[in-house]
Structure 1
């Protein structure tokens, strides 16, 4: 196997780089998950995670991937045979709809083109047509990781309200939480699904359900059998800082530090940093002469950019070339986008130099593969990044 010097650039759209302070917290000795030290940790992370979701309501933390939190959102609020309205925006919205079928739910999926986000007007029209109120939930993805498209969740809530429909609103924020502004309470979301391995800068292994009062009421009449994913047992134990079964103790120690890091930087500054990186990346991509998978500027993702290569050129071969030569990993195309696009992750723990280095590696890879492009994409991006150079630290007097 080829040996590389220097750091590995992990520039996929998650899992993301885990900062050293978080790794150090995870590496601390495991503590008694039934003892007073853990109760203090439990209270702290359960309160802290609410600030990232921007909710005053409970957030349940599971020792699972985001897929487990998807399932929890469904089985705690719905019953077998219930109808949902879903919107196809890419690979992950498709996987979520497939899960509903496995659970015996009936999902009507509005077909999409994998280049645009949720159309709130279509949601409203569908709900207005539902005179019998058979839809029990609307389930959408906030930031589609496969396409780099961000949907307007506030617009979806307004559409549901205009239709006067009682359906719950379920939202996946796995690749946006902690990186793109999201407001669970303000936008009237009933269940928000999140994961640890992206904007929260942790390894995979934790996932989340932020729960509205309406969702909690729905859980009392849900017809699904559930044990591991049940909200009631979890919330009862959480009230004292504990969990109903063995939690991911060391990951929770890392979560405490991750929350501290996000708040030390300031969430608005975190969002601005992601916006700037995304803008610089798109500037480079357009300079090179390539299309961005997302076609609407208002829906551009701030956590990743999916890049379409010209016909006849393999995105996977480019990724392999860059990995071999520059020790940098980029995201692959998923589903119908396989080998057609590559995805640049710019989320989590990074700075301006990380972005510049990532784009330099891509431009070198384009040259090595002989893919026609206009040189100077990195320099074009640096005009964006350099204009936001942080102030120099003052020398000690």
Structure 2
């Protein structure tokens, strides 16, 4: 029988930008005995998480919770609001925007992929004026939705969603706005209602600190109305029956009860820390990470400081250095997982995740592993990034710990 020895001593450093480490108290919550998903105890749990998740999306409107990955939530957003042959404007910011575009095509939609050419578009955020210009040209309003990624997990770029909403409004266009927040929800400031988003897509395994297996659609009234006229086939993902059952805390199918226990615990943890404090912590850790990369003398993948991600940092390798070799050496020697470069960036960069259950010491340890991994891989570094990060973090004023 094949024997697998996963990380025999110490704790593995899971520093990919999702799935992120799951805190012990969430793991304990997930281990509770499974209960009757039609009983009164479950109804109370359902109502709690359905209400609590609205606060994370910063919405007063319904949020649907699926027992699915983020990919399922992508599909749910499209099939509930659109019909076969509908035109959709999608903006290319990286690998996951590309995959969403591919899905739209497979569902019988007609996506138009907008963006800057080559790798340049993967190093910057959404260009809202380009969206406005394209929508102004669509005088017959054939484009039914605009789809963008808030935080592109493959690149370390966080786009300005308020600017996208303003561009749609300036063009006087009725298209729905759909936004992927799979890697930003619970880590970066995101405002579903204030920014006028119609469908927000997200997942459980990143800022919410859960294992993979839950995904979300946050809805606007406009999106719900569009679903009444959309004709793409949907059954499992259909909003109407779920929304009706959710009124009393239940689902029309068997939900993932134990992950909902974990979600309840995660919502409690975020509420205790304070959502704004969570955002500030992620910004602080991201800046420390970027200072480390600069001290090493390496290039940050995102070239626009205005859209640096608080969730992850992409680290570009010098010419002649394969980023995947660096990742492998770092993993094998120091038991730390780093994100690979995807798509156009394969082999050219690695990604350091600093999201979810992460604090100053977690990041410093991760940067130490990266620094040692770079050295043994033959990458010449200018100075210690660990020291640069420590100096920055040591000077920061952070909110006091909350004592229960």
- State if a TM-score over 0.5 links the two structures: yes
In the alignment, does 2:98 pair up with 1:90? no
Q: Which residue of 1 aligns with 2:30?
A: 26
The match for 1:347 among 355, 360, 383 is 355
Q: Which residue of 2 aligns with 1:323?
A: 331
Q: Which residue of 1 aligns with 2:378?
A: 370
In the alignment, does 2:298 pair up with 1:290? yes
The match for 2:124 among 97, 100, 116 is 116
Q: Which residue of 2 aligns with 1:107?
A: 111
Gapped regions of structure 1 (runs ≥ 5): none
Take 1:68 and 1:377, find their aligned partners in 2: how far apart are those partners? 39
Deviations for 1:135-187, whole angstroms, at most 9, x for unmatched residues?
A: 00000000000000000000000000011000000000000000000000000
Q: Which residue of 2 aligns with 1:229?
A: 237
Take 2:224 and 2:322, find their aligned partners in 1: how far apart are those partners? 47
Take 1:268 and 1:345, find their aligned partners in 2: how far apart are those partners? 20
Contact residue 322 and residue 361 of structure 1 kept, 8 A: yes
Q: Which residue of 1 aligns with 2:149?
A: 141
Take 1:388 and 1:324, find their aligned partners in 2: how far apart are those partners? 33
Question: For the structure 1 residues 242 and 276, does the alpha-carbon distance in structure 2 shift closer, same or farther, using more than 3 Å as the test?
Answer: same
Deviations for 1:327-346, whole angstroms, at most 9, x for unmatched residues?
A: 10000000111111000000
Q: What secondary structure does 2:90 align onto?
A: strand
Contact residue 295 and residue 384 of structure 2 kept, 8 A: yes
Q: Which residue of 1 aligns with 2:16?
A: 12
Q: What secondary structure does 1:169 align onto?
A: strand
Deviations for 1:110-150, whole angstroms, at most 9, x for unmatched residues?
A: 13321011100000000000000000000000000000000
Contact residue 4 and residue 327 of structure 1 kept, 8 A: no
C-alpha RMSD over aligned residues: 1.4
1:388 Cα deviation from its structure 2 partner: 2.3
Aligned residues: 395
The match for 2:48 among 44, 47, 54 is 44
1:390 Cα deviation from its structure 2 partner: 4.9
Take 2:50 and 2:402, find their aligned partners in 1: how far apart are those partners? 37
Question: For the structure 1 residues 42 and 394, does the alpha-carbon distance in structure 2 shift closer, same or farther, using more than 3 Å as the test?
Answer: closer
The match for 2:253 among 235, 242, 245 is 245
TM-score, normalization by structure 1:
0.98
1:5 Cα deviation from its structure 2 partner: 2.1
Contact residue 126 and residue 159 of structure 2 kept, 8 A: yes
Take 1:92 and 1:372, find their aligned partners in 2: how far apart are those partners? 31
Q: Which residue of 2 aligns with 1:387?
A: 395
Gapped regions of structure 2 (runs ≥ 5): none
1:2 Cα deviation from its structure 2 partner: 8.4
Contact residue 37 and residue 250 of structure 2 kept, 8 A: yes
The match for 1:184 among 166, 180, 192 is 192
Deviations for 1:81-117, whole angstroms, at most 9, x for unmatched residues?
A: 0001111000000000000000000001013321011
Contact residue 201 and residue 258 of structure 1 kept, 8 A: yes
Contact residue 149 and residue 159 of structure 2 kept, 8 A: yes
